[in-house]
A = this chain, B = another copy of it.
Amino acid sequence: MADITLDELNRSDASSFVTRLANVYEHAPWAAERAFAARPFATVAALHAAMHAAVRAASDGERSALIKAHPDLAGKAARAGALTAESTSEQLTAGLDRLSEEEFDAFHRLNTAYREKFDIPFIVSVRRHTKDSIIASFERRLMHDAAAERATALAEIDRIAALRLESLVAGDGSLRLDGRLSTHVLDTHLGRPATGVAIELRELSRRNAPRTIARAVTNADGRTDAPLIAGRPVPIGSYELIFAVGDYFKSRGVTLSDPPFLDLVPLRFGIAEAEGNYHVPLVMTPWSFSTYRGS
């Protein structure tokens, strides 16, 4: 999925090096220019550190310009298709391209209030968030003071840069930006992993209907063949896993009441650390179930 290897970057001349990395920091090719001297980079993390150091060493004015170069979230530029490719793809991930009118109004109101108070755009690493958690952090951050928000904006810019680098450059040295969401279904009626259980993962929202983001069926070990989410941050937010427990036990020949005591079993939970490891198992019989944050 990455566009270029670290090796190729290490062998590039300055011009193509900078072209490739021009938007790792939004509209700030100078971060790449200044990091170029530190070649070769042993790891992607080292490359990120060099660009990060360049930003930290830049003048206040350059950093202010960097902050202000960011577009509004779900703002006019996004509607008009005038974002960098990187921003467009990020805003898509978080679903900012499919806002209800009510949500669009909320974003508009929050963008305006934020710019009025701080004179900078609201910056957040949207790949780490759901729409709900973006709005929640928007509201929380509006209460801060200007110095704190400037620091937060720079920290978020750095997270964005790290994620952009990781998807752009293939190479050793993970930046440890991945989270993980997985499940496991154990049948303690029959004493074995539950095979063939249909599972649906849904993102919940205070303002919208649930959105299905993954479907899977458990394998011979009671797990899904791949984690439900892996290789990227798990967006901070509220989720529901729904397990077709009634159908599973029927398929195993277990006699159930009508309707069964347990049929579709939802487990609702929140993700707070986008880089965390969330294992959410279901241990069940036709008459009981339990879950816990596992590992």
Contacts and interface: CB of A to CB of B under 8 A. Distances in A.
A15 interface: no
Interface residues of A, number: 43
B288 A283 contact: yes
Interface stretch (A6-14, A87-95, A262-270): A262-270
A260 B270 CA distance: 6
A72 to B, nearest CB: 24
Contacts of A295: 184, 186, 192-193, 221-222
A174 to B, nearest CB: 18
Nearest to A239: B259
A188 B266 contact: no
A265 B280 CA distance: 14
A191 interface: yes
A276 to B, nearest CB: 9
A133 B259 contact: yes
B283 A292 contact: yes
19 contacts: A133-B259, A136-B259, A184-B295, A186-B295, A188-B188, A188-B285, A188-B293, A189-B287, A191-B261, A191-B287, A193-B294, A193-B295, A238-B263, A257-B272, A259-B272, A262-B270, A285-B288, A287-B293, A290-B290
